[in-house]
A and B are shown apart, each in its own frame.
Chain A
Amino acid sequence: MAERERSRTPPFGGVFVAHARVMTADDMGRAILRMAHEIIERNHGLDGVVVVGLQTGGVPVAERLVEALEDIEGLRPPLGYLDVALYRDDIGIRPVVPEAATDLPADIDNSLIVLVDDVLFTGRTIRAAMDAVCDYGRPRSVQLAVMIDRGHRELPIRPDYVGKNLPTRRDEVVDVHPLGVDLGSVEK
């Protein structure tokens, strides 16, 4: 995902150089487990909960979250995938290409949607995701889980479940991958 972001946003391309490992794989595993407990606590179980991973960076996080929820509660909540490319507000400003088709459970009316993304930054992706979800039905509530909240919000959006709050500079880049989370920059 980070790869795609780099190739399609100024300065177009470049190489991601990691400066610091801010979370290890173990840290991520613990954060996932904690967020899973928080989701169950907040919703009094998993009744009606649908986990929705945002294409493409949110998908592996959402999959791990579903695993964790199943381990704790013994039942597996439905998992959906959402591509928000067609709902973005920067179409025509920035290259936008759908990455993979949306695949949500058939009926999301009255469900408790937990949107999952890897990094929360300006909040614009989440704004687009909420618009997209509302085109499919009317969930009872929409909650947001992110592995990293890096700040710099441009919209009044806040996460309900956070893996780690990470203060960053705007020009820094956060890369979430299976081995951990790196903070770095894109070098031309």
Chain B
Amino acid sequence: MSTAVTTWRHLLGIDGMSRGDIEGILDLTDTFAEVGRRSIPKVPALRGRTVASLFFEDSTRTRMSFETAAKRLSADIMTFTAGSSSLSKGESLRDTVEVIGSYGADAIVVRHAMAGTAHRLADWTDACVINAGDGCHEHPTQALLDCYTLRERRGDLDGMRIGIVGDIRNSRVARSNILAFSLLGAEVVLVAPPTLLPPSIDGWPVTVSHDLDAVLPGLDACYLLRMQRERINEGLVPSLREYATDYGMDARRGGLLAADAVILHPGPTNPGVELTTEVATDPRSVILDQVSNGVSVRMAVLFMLLGSGMDLAPDQSGADQGVDG
């Protein structure tokens, strides 16, 4: 097990992490996956610690999996809901964060539509900040759980060829995953219509294709991104049906994928758009594994930031200080 892990205060993004950092978290996740398999899936590790979840955007699985993770570690949870808070009275983000801090939150899990929100918060609070999605920027715990799921299925990401299909332009999941997959030695292929690619991918460790059928046979894993309906109004794709025809995963395209390939989707899926129900229940699909691994990975992240005491030890390895500099 890797012990030369960077000393972390916050988890703001995959950007700035090293391969060793990611592998350290994935190794740690094994321990917490074991906790989840017990008849009483709860350990006292973070007793007395408080985790605040601060979601300015809707979420089912990220929020619930963070809360489940915190509960399994015996931490207390404070839940902030944008709709029922003083935001409607004009309270600023900074006020909200300072109030949560003064209630004694040890960690703040934040999701916000603005890129960089988690980084701002890190300057304002003494609590550990965990980015649960900031605009189109990053969603690091999603990338970590995807890496864990792939590693669980395939043993190692090194040398894998992973296709990421769909709305790359607006996807924080894609950004974090591109970084994480390539750090772990995988080759990343982006497959999307030109309108759904970012204006520039200079310097990204990826290749690009617009033809899913041509790419599929060479893939070890196919990552389908959620297609958001708003994109139709923006005129980036003519219709969901046309998108499904060109980039949706159906039984025929499933046949083009290798027998040992892995199909991933961050959820929630639009059945019949990114993939058909048939593909979602294919043995190669790991969508439900992603959900359950999400809890284990988030337990590892919470424990690393709040419980491991890594911040108590002086930096021995001389490694860089991670993303919180």
Contact = CB atoms under 8 A, between A and B. Distances in A.
B1 A99 contact: yes
B309 A94 contact: yes
Interface stretch (A20-28, A36-44, A83-91): A83-91
Contacts of A92: 49, 306-307, 309
B38 interface: yes
B3 A87 contact: no
Nearest to B309: A95
B202 interface: no
A97 B45 contact: no
B43 A101 contact: no
Nearest to A128: B44
A95 B308 contact: yes
Given A12-B314, A135-B43, A86 B309 contact: no
A101 B30 contact: yes
Contacts of B307: 86, 91-92, 96
A86 B321 CA distance: 25
Interface of B: 1, 3, 28, 30-31, 33-35, 38-40, 42-46, 49, 73, 303, 306-310, 312-314, 316
* Closest 4 A/B residue pairs (Cβ): A95-B309, A98-B31, A86-B45, A86-B43
A50 to B, nearest CB: 16
A7 to B, nearest CB: 6
Given A91-B307, A131-B44, A97 B312 contact: no
A72 B213 CA distance: 64
A87 B73 CA distance: 10
Interface string A97-132: 111111100000000000000000000000000011
B1 A100 contact: yes
A152 interface: no
Given A12-B316, A98-B31, A101-B34, A93 B45 contact: no
A86 B31 contact: yes
A37 B73 CA distance: 40
Contacts of A140: none
A99 B42 CA distance: 18
B142 to A, nearest CB: 23
Interface residues of A, number: 26
B55 to A, nearest CB: 26
Contact of B313 (A8, A83, A100, A102): A8
B2 to A, nearest CB: 10
13 contacts: A8-B309, A12-B313, A85-B45, A86-B303, A91-B46, A95-B308, A96-B307, A96-B308, A97-B308, A97-B310, A100-B31, A101-B30, A101-B34
A29 interface: no
Contacts of A97: 3, 28, 308, 310
A184 B65 CA distance: 46
Given A86-B303, A91-B309, 13 more contacts: A7-B316, A8-B309, A8-B313, A85-B31, A86-B35, A86-B307, A97-B28, A98-B28, A98-B31, A102-B31, A135-B40, A135-B42, A135-B43
Contact of B45 (A8, A13, A87): A87
Contacts of A91: 45-46, 307, 309
B175 to A, nearest CB: 29
A95 B30 contact: no
B1 A13 contact: no
A93 to B, nearest CB: 7
A136 B46 CA distance: 19
Nearest to A101: B34
A87 to B, nearest CB: 6
Contacts of B306: 92
A5 to B, nearest CB: 12
A26 to B, nearest CB: 32
A4 interface: yes
Contacts of B42: 135
Nearest to A91: B307
B312 A94 contact: yes
A30 B314 CA distance: 42
A116 B309 CA distance: 26
A98 to B, nearest CB: 4
Nearest to A84: B43
A86 B300 CA distance: 11
A93 B309 CA distance: 7
Nearest to B4: A7
Nearest to B30: A101
B159 to A, nearest CB: 26
A83 B31 contact: yes
A56 B35 CA distance: 18
Given A97-B28, A101-B30, A136-B38, A87 B43 contact: yes
